[in-house]
C-alpha cells in the first residue's frame, strides 16, 4: 500500500490532521494499535479554545459541536470562601471557550472520515517506522497474522505519550524536559447537573478542586489527592463530601450528588520533547508534549500542532514549498512552551504541595488576590485560557 501521509494514531489530533488533508485532496492512511471502541471509550478533557473550534469548522466537523457544545464566556476562581469570576470575553475582546467532550470530537471526526471513505486500520500490532531520515519512509505492521507495509511521503506521529513514534527517534536526536507533580487528580463523571454554569477552580487548604461539566446534565468533578492514592479507597460518598468541603458554601450547595459512572486518578506532569521533526517524521500532540490539565491545554495544543503541520504540508503539495514543514517544529514549540508555562503556573497557584507550608499558602493567597483585583493580571490569565494566537 502507498499513501502520501501516514498518520500513526486515531485520536483527535490524527483524525483532525487526516480530515484537514482530505479537504485539499491529500491522501492519508491512519494506523491505530487499539480498536475503534477503545479509542471512543477514552474519557478526556473537553474545554476547546476558539482556535480549535475554528479548525474543526475548517475540517467540516463542527456541526454537532455547535448544536450541543456549551460556550463559556468566563471561569471562576474559588478561594477564601468566595467565587471570583474572570470574564474571558470582556478581557479578550469577545473570545470564549466551548465545553465539548474530547470523546465527542473524536466521534465526529471518525464519522467524517468514514463518510469520506478514508482508510483507518485499527488493531495494527507491532508498528515500526522505517527510513524516515531518508527520502522514502515506510511503516510495517501486523494484522490478522500477516505483516503489511505502507510506503509514504511523510509520517505524522499522533500516537500519544506511549506510542511508537517518539520511541522510534534515536535518543541522541531527542532532548526531553520533564516535571512530575507530587499529587494526582481524582476525577468522577456523573449524570447530574453541574454545580455552576461555568467552570470553578478552587484553592483550599485541603487541596485543589475543579467543578466542570460535559453537558447540562453530565458533570465532571476533580479533587487533588495524594500521590499513590488508589481509586478503590474513594467511595462516591467520600468523594462528594471532600469536594463540597473544598468549595465556597454557595457552590457546595449547588452540587447534586449521584452515582459516578467513571472514576479515575490521573497523575500530573509536564513533558516536552524537542525537536518535533526528524527528517520525514513529525511528532504531534501528546507524542511530543504533556501538560497538567489545570490550564485546559492538552487537546488544544494538539490542535495547534495540527494547524502548523497541516499548513506546512498544504504548501508542500500545492506549491512545492518546504518552508512550512521546515518551520513546523520551531513554530509549534514556541506555542507549546507558552502553554506549558501557563499550565505550570495555574497548577502551582491552585494546588497544595507537600512543602507549601504557611509561607507558601500566604503567597498563593496574595497571588490569587492580586489576580482577581488587577485587570492586567486577569487579562493575562484570560488571554492564555482562551488560547494565544497561532
Residues with catalytic function: 72, 201, 293, 297, 385
Cell of 33: 494499535
State the residue for C-alpha cell 507558601.
360
Question: What's CA 63's distance to the chain center, in Å?
Answer: 21
Number of other CB atoms surrounding residue 379 within 10 Å: 15
275 prior amide bond cis, ω within 30: yes
> How many residues in the chain?
390
| Spatial contact of 253 and 243, defined as CB atoms under 8 Å apart | no
- According to DSSP, residue 128 is labeled E
Burial annotation 197-232 (CB, 10 A radius, 16+ → b, else e):
ebbbbbbbeebbbbbbbbbeeebbbbbbbeeeeeee
Name the β-bridge partners of 75.
86
| Spatial contact of 188 and 263, defined as CB atoms under 8 Å apart | yes
DSSP characters over 187-240: EEEESS--SSSS-EEE--TT--EEEEESSSS-EEEEEEEETT--GGG--HHHHH
Cell of 320: 512545492
Which residue from 64, 11, 66, 72 is spatially nearest to 47, judged by alpha carbons?
72
Please give the Cα distance from 287 to 131 (Å, whole number). Answer: 19
Amino acid at each position: 500500500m502507498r499513501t502520501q501521509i501516514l498518520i500513526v494514531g486515531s485520536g483527535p489530533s490524527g483524525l483532525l490532521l487526516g480530515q484537514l488533508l482530505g479537504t485539499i485532496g491529500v491522501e492519508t492512511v491512519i494506523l491505530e494499535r487499539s480498536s475503534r471502541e477503545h479509542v471512543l471509550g477514552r474519557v478526556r478533557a473537553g474545554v476547546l479554545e476558539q482556535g480549535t473550534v475554528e479548525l474543526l469548522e475548517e475540517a467540516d466537523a463542527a456541526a454537532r459541536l455547535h448544536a450541543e457544545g456549551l460556550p463559556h464566556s468566563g471561569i471562576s476562581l474559588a478561594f477564601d470562601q468566595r467565587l471570583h469570576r474572570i470574564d474571558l470575553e470582556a478581557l479578550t475582546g469577545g473570545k470564549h471557550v466551548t465545553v465539548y467532550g474530547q470523546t465527542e470530537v473524536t466521534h465526529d471526526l471518525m464519522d467524517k472520515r468514514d463518510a469520506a471513505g478514508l482508510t483507518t486500520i485499527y488493531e495494527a500490532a507491532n508498528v515500526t517506522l522505517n527510513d524516515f531520515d531518508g527520502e522514502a519512509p515506510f511503516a510495517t505492521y501486523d494484522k490478522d497474522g500477516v505483516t503489511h507495509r505502507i510506503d509514504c511521503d511523510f509520517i505524522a506521529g499522533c500516537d500519544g505519550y506511549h506510542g511508537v513514534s517518539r520511541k522510534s527517534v534515536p535518543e541522541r536526536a531527542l532532548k526531553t524536559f520533564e516535571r512530575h507533580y507530587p499529587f494526582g487528580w481524582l476525577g468522577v463523571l456523573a449524570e447530574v447537573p453541574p454545580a455552576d454554569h461555568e467552570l470553578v477552580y478552587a484553592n483550599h487548604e485541603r487541596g485543589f478542586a475543579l467543578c466542570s461539566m460535559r453537558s447540562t446534565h453530565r458533570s465532571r468533578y476533580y479533587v487533588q489527592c495524594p500521590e499513590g492514592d488508589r481509586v478503590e479507597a474513594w467511595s462516591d460518598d467520600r468523594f462528594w463530601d471532600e469536594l463540597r468541603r473544598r468549595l465556597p458554601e454557595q457552590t457546595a450547595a449547588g452540587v447534586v450528588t449521584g452515582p459516578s459512572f467513571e472514576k479515575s486518578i490521573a497523575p500530573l506532569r509536564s513533558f516536552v520533547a524537542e525537536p518535533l521533526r526528524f527528517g520525514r517524521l513529525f511528532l504531534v500532540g501528546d507524542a511530543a508534549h504533556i501538560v497538567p490539565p489545570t490550564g485546559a491545554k492538552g487537546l488544544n495544543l494538539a490542535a495547534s500542532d495540527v494547524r502548523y503541520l497541516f499548513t506546512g504540508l498544504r504548501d508542500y503539495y500545492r506549491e512545492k514549498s518546504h518552508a512550512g514543514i521546515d518551520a513546523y517544529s520551531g513554530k509549534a514549540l514556541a506555542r507549546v512552551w507558552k502553554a506549558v508555562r501557563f499550565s505550570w503556573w495555574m497548577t502551582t497557584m491552585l494546588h497544595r504541595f507537600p512543602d507549601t507550608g504557611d509561607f507558601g499558602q500566604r503567597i498563593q493567597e496574595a497571588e490569587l488576590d492580586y489576580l482577581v483585583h488587577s485587570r492586567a493580571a486577569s487579562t493575562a490569565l484570560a488571554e492564555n485560557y482562551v488560547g494565544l494566537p497561532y
